[in-house]
Amino acid sequence: MEKPLDDGKKHVLEINERLLCSDDGLILGNGDLSVSVYQTVDRIIWRFGKGDVWDRRLDLSDNPTPITIDELAHGIKDEGWKCGPYGGAVEALHGTDNPERMKEVCQGTPPSEKNRPYPCPKPVGELVMQLPPDQMNMKINQRLVIEEGRLDITCSWPSGLKITIHSFIPTTPNALVVHWEIENWSKYTLTGNKPPVWFWLYRWADPPLDEYAARFDADYMHGAFNTYYNPKVTPLPPPSVQNVDGLYIIEQTFYKDPLFPDGFRYWMAPFAPDARIEPVNMLPAKEARIRIMPKYESMEGWLAVDVPTSSDQGDVSAEFQKFQLAFGENPVNTMIKWQEESEKASKDFWSKSSVRIANCNSERCFT
């Protein structure tokens, strides 16, 4: 592997505290697939986002008939239509013989946008790494190495236990790769027959709009979504766990639209050498979840999560098959190769986006 850049020649975002929500998380991505990495008390969480994962529904059924240019010219020139700011009162300065039509075309944002939560992007799901739950007073160091496209997280405890997590997203395939290493595990024993760390991959069910609006109003004292309620608005179908040729994946489907007449869908497909991958029964919560359990004695491991979508050539199944075949006989070597390619691509990209000014105070140079 190519020697890493010296710290003096690269940009590193370093944070020595937990980032408690996905909005504040450190970002990895390749321009299509991304993750925001954040934490809870004893978990590391990667929240996935993808450029083509949208609820593409466009419901124009409540919109007024589009106005013609002649109708608009007549309204402005002959009737003197005047619209108040921010959806205020509408009046005809010269009078009008059709006040209802004037109001509906001058109302501002049409119902298809004002009373619908879509079209909109959707979160893909999350990968969660469970840290040893019986350890207290964890210290965390997070280093996002910009020019290498890699996030390094080190968790340490007074007991001497140390867990280092490296994660990146290669240029191809569209997958998150996580590599973890554990030191000094033998200094204590966790109650129960569990490994030091384990993982969940999951996608929650879309809530009904009225439920989401009520929670948003209660949490933030803002009724932004209360006016969106409409019985025509429905959540996405619940996600599901599927068995594809003996491998478990999570599938989220979308309603039909002009671009995808059979409906858009994506998968979250985990691959972890020497780990047990199994479904978790979350039907009562309408959630899809997969558990990934490394072996008890494993002090190091690799994990990849592929996110194929209907936008891929051959749909999700063909892209997933390519992902499987890419691992070959030595999956770890393949993921190391992806990391090398990812770091090289990141260095090449950022080398074209840099500015060097010798002996110059930046504030004086740019003000």
Q: In the Cβ-directed half-sphere of 38, how many Cα atoms lie within 13 Å?
A: 12
Please tell me the distance from the alpha carbon of residue 195 to that of residue 294, in angstroms, as a whole number: 7
Please tell me the distance from the alpha carbon of residue 137 to that of residue 142, in angstroms, as a whole number: 16
pLDDT score recorded for residue 298: 86
Structure tokens at 104: 């509906």
Structure letter (DSSP) for residue 65: P
R_g over Cα of the chain: 26
Please tell me the distance from the alpha carbon of residue 182 to that of residue 135, in angstroms, as a whole number: 14
Task: Judge contact between 96 and 76, C-beta under 8 A.
Answer: no
Residues 10-49 have pLDDT tens digits of 789 999 999 999 999 999 999 999 999 999 999 999 999 9
5 or 145, higher pLDDT: 145
Where does the chain hold its CATH 2.70.98.50 domain(s)?
7-57+118-203+273-306+316-351
Please tell me the distance from the alpha carbon of residue 58 to that of residue 44, in angstroms, as a whole number: 36
Note if the pTM is more than 0.85: yes
Cα-to-chain-centroid distance, residue 296:
30
Q: Which residue has the tokens 């999570």?
A: 250
**Lowest-pLDDT range of 77-86, 87-96, 349-358:** 349-358
Task: Judge contact between 267 and 249, C-beta under 8 A.
Answer: yes
- Best CA proximity match to 301, nearest among 157, 161, 197: 197
Please tell me the distance from the alpha carbon of residue 31 to that of residue 176, in angstroms, as a whole number: 13
The mean pLDDT of the chain is 89
Please tell me the distance from the alpha carbon of residue 11 to that of residue 350, in angstroms, as a whole number: 10
For residue 39, the cross-strand partners are 44
- Best CA proximity match to 151, nearest among 171, 140, 166, 130: 166
Residues whose CB is less than 8 angstroms from the CB of residue 185 and which lie 6 or more positions away in sequence, other chains included? 161, 196, 299
Residues whose CB is less than 8 angstroms from the CB of residue 8 and which lie 6 or more positions away in sequence, other chains included? none
Hey, which of 85-89, 100-104, 193-197, 242-246 has the most confident mean pLDDT? 242-246
Residues 86-137 have pLDDT tens digits of 667 889 999 999 999 998 888 778 888 878 889 999 999 999 999 998 888 9
% of the chain residues with pLDDT over 90: 70
7-57+118-203+273-306+316-351 is a CATH 1.10.357.10 domain: no
Strands (E), the chain: 12-15, 26-29, 33-39, 43-50, 54-55, 81-83, 90-92, 120-121, 125-130, 139-145, 150-156, 162-168, 175-183, 198-203, 240-244, 247-253, 265-271, 275-280, 288-294, 300-306
pLDDT score recorded for residue 188: 53
What average pLDDT does range 149-157 have in this prediction?
96
Residues 246-301 have pLDDT tens digits of 999 999 999 999 899 999 999 999 999 989 999 999 999 999 999 999 988 889 99
